[in-house]
């Protein structure tokens, strides 16, 4: 069964303290892995798409990496405005554009 597991469920960091969020996936052929950021009361905001193992994408303090079994979202020197829930989703090769979603990691950055 295709599934996505994110860890940890919640992460509290001090401002400037770098860390990583994990997204483990099981899918019968990966078409793409997607990272989103969601602020309270808002829709998810698209961050990155990763297609193949070894691929990396960066945006400001965020860097996403992909292996055959998992993806990491690295946050370097985070600021309080990086506080949000980060969602991971995968799309299988045989899907009709459907995404399989993880439960998310709630990130809190304390000033």
49 binds other proteins (CB under 8 A): yes
76 versus 95: smaller Cβ distance to other proteins: 95
Enter the tokens of residue 60.
């400001």
What angle is formed at CA 34 by the lines to CA 65 and CA 94, rounded to 5 degrees? 115
Q: Is 84 in the site for other proteins (CB under 8 A)?
A: no
Partners of 77 in beta bridges: none
By rule CB under 8 A, what string of x and - marks binding of each residue 4-43 to other proteins? ---------------------------xx-x-x----xxx
Q: Which of 2, 3, 1, 7 is closest to 72 using CA atoms?
A: 7
Q: What does the binding site for other proteins look like in residue numbers (CB under 8 A)?
A: 31-32, 34, 36, 41-46, 49, 87, 91, 96-99, 101-104
């Amino acid at each position: 069964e295709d599934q996505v597991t994110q860890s940890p469920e919640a992460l509290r960091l001090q401002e400037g303290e770098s860390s990583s969020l994990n997204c483990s996936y099981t899918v019968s052929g990966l078409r793409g892995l997607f990272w989103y950021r969601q602020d309270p009361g808002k829709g998810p905001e698209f961050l990155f798409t990763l297609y193949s193992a070894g691929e990396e994408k960066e945006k400001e303090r965020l860097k996403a990496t992909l292996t055959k079994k998992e993806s990491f979202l690295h946050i370097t020197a985070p600021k309080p405005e990086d506080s949000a829930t980060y969602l991971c989703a995968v799309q299988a090769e045989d899907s009709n554009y459907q995404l399989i979603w993880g439960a998310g990691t709630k990130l809190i950055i304390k000033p």
